[in-house]
Amino acid sequence: MSLPNLGKGVENCKGSLYLSENKTWFAGLGKDGQVLRAWGQQFILRDTKNTESSFLWDVPEIRRTGGLTALKDSGYLGNPSG
């Protein structure tokens, strides 16, 4: 495995670990859990740098779950205004 591909392999492992280690937590979060699971899938498919960009919320799998709006509406992200 070349060095660039090694990095991608590590990213895939992190994403898989994120999903498997948080499975029970996601299940208890309802809609928020769906959003966070979809985010985790993108972490596996793309590198970390791409999951830290705003385009992430436009990915169809994440939009279908309600995306950032769902997290904000539920209070999961806290109240940034106060």
Quick: pLDDT tens for 8-34: 555 667 888 889 999 999 899 888 899
Residue 81 lies in a domain: no
**Residue with the two structure tokens 């898989």:** 16
| Boundaries of domain holding 63 | 3-74
Q: What pLDDT, on a 0 to 100 scale, did the predictor assign at position 21?
A: 92
Residue 47 lies in a domain: yes
Residue 22 lies in a domain: yes
Which residue, among 71, 80, 75, has the nearest Cα to 36 in the 3D structure? 71
| Mean pLDDT, residues 51-60 | 81
| Mean pLDDT, residues 73-77 | 75
> What span, in angstroms and rounded, lies between the C-alpha atoms of 77 and 1?
39
Residue 48 lies in a domain: yes
Residue 63 lies in a domain: yes
pTM: 0.71
Q: How many domains, in total, are found in the chain?
A: 1
Own/partner contacts of 48-53, CB < 8 Å, gap of 24 or more, are 48/11, 48/14
